[in-house]
Amino acid sequence: MLFAKFLLPLQPMKHIRILSPASAIDSQWIDKATARLKQWGFCVSVAEHAYGNIGRFSATDDERLADLNTALADPNIDIILCSRGGYGLQRIIDRVVLPSRPKEQWPLLVGFSDITALHSLLNIHGVPSLHANMCKDLSLLPDDDVSLEAERDFLLEEHLPSLLSLTSHLLPKTYHPSPHRSTLNSRFAVKSIVMSPLNRAGEVKGRLIGGNLSVLYGLQGTPYSLNRIIEQCGEPPILFIEDICENHYHIDRMLHNLRLSGVFDKIAGLVVGEFTDCKDDPTMGCTLMESIRQVVELYDFPVLFDYPSGHIDSNYPLLLGATYHMVVQ
């Protein structure tokens, strides 16, 4: 019965274009993700160079850029699904051509990790984008996985092109606070997580920005920096960060870069996602999560740790650029 509801067709059917704007991917994950998306009722096409492999990258910079610009320019494409992250978008981000049609008609971008560069570009222009599972996880996750169900709900949303006017609330009207839970939810994706002792309580509302910390750090000082996104927000936003396979001291360095560049002076809240395979370094004198807490100790905004989004099996979707109501108890 659960699987049957995935087969309901969309009216009209939405078109998803899968492309590989960064690293190469095993072709089986594109094929299996395509099959699942078609079961959900989508029309799916694959960009010319999505299956490519030239070392670290799926294709040359020019070829990957052409696939991306073609998808952005096509008014018949509703959703752009990046097959994977890896590395490569910072090599081409300054040559991305954004659509000339009204922003509410732009396709929804889906991805995470290196795709943070594209999220930043779109969010600077006031266009929301979805930090969510890509092809491999769309292939492997079971039908009842909560992150998969939430991502499906985002993609199936009937009025997806009008996301600019969407306000996402973390707490549904029926929510009853628990002393053991904190929440960061939207009307599409409701998720409770175990409260971390490092959390700092508070309640704020703001647009959600951010993504992969290493990519955000690499964009500082460029036209695609967090500072530029914050300027576009108008009011203090909520910052989300996650990462994978980074040294403890390097994460500390990146966070202090954000502090020194004034990012933490301008945000309303901080959401700390998963830092996968980022191990504690005893020479730092504290755990990695404690390091993050120490960097923001002098600020008074709420901080929510251990949010289940990032490089994990069940990567919970977040709509970057949308307004969230954040409650930390």
Q: Where are the beta strands (DSSP E) in 144-263?
A: 181-183, 192-194, 202-212, 238-244
First to last CA, the chain: 37
**What is the homologous superfamily of the domain 9-165 according to CATH?**
Murein tetrapeptidase LD-carboxypeptidase, N-terminal domain (3.40.50.10740)
- Cα-based angle 313, 149, 204 (whole degrees, multiple of 5): 85
Tens digits of pLDDT across the chain (329 residues) = 233 334 444 456 899 999 999 999 999 999 999 999 999 999 999 999 999 999 999 999 999 999 999 999 999 999 999 999 999 999 999 999 999 999 999 999 999 999 999 999 999 999 999 999 999 999 999 998 988 988 998 898 865 433 322 222 333 333 233 334 455 544 444 455 557 889 998 889 899 999 999 999 999 999 999 999 999 999 999 999 999 999 999 999 999 999 999 999 999 999 999 999 999 999 999 999 999 999 999 999 999 998 889 999 889 899 999 888 888 87
- Report pLDDT for 162: 32
- Cα-based angle 164, 166, 167 (whole degrees, multiple of 5): 130
User: Of all residues in the chain, what percent carry a pLDDT higher than 90?
Assistant: 73
Domain residue extents for the chain: 9-165, 181-328
Task: Note the pLDDT tens digit of each residue in 280-299.
Answer: 999 999 999 999 999 999 99
Give the architecture (CATH level 2) of 181-328. Answer: 3-Layer(bba) Sandwich (3.50)
* Whether the Cβ atoms of residue 240 and residue 211 lie closer than 8 Å to each other: yes
Q: How many CB atoms lie within 10 A of CB 2?
A: 9
Rounded Cα distance, 152 and 137, in Å: 13
What single-letter amino acid sits at 136? K
Task: Note the pLDDT tens digit of each residue in 64-73.
Answer: 999 999 999 9
| Cα distances (Å, whole numbers) of residue 79 to 110, 149, 223, 266 | 7, 17, 25, 31
| Tokens 């202090």 -> residue | 256
Task: Note the pLDDT tens digit of each residue in 84-93.
Answer: 999 999 999 9
| Tokens 């404690």 -> residue | 290
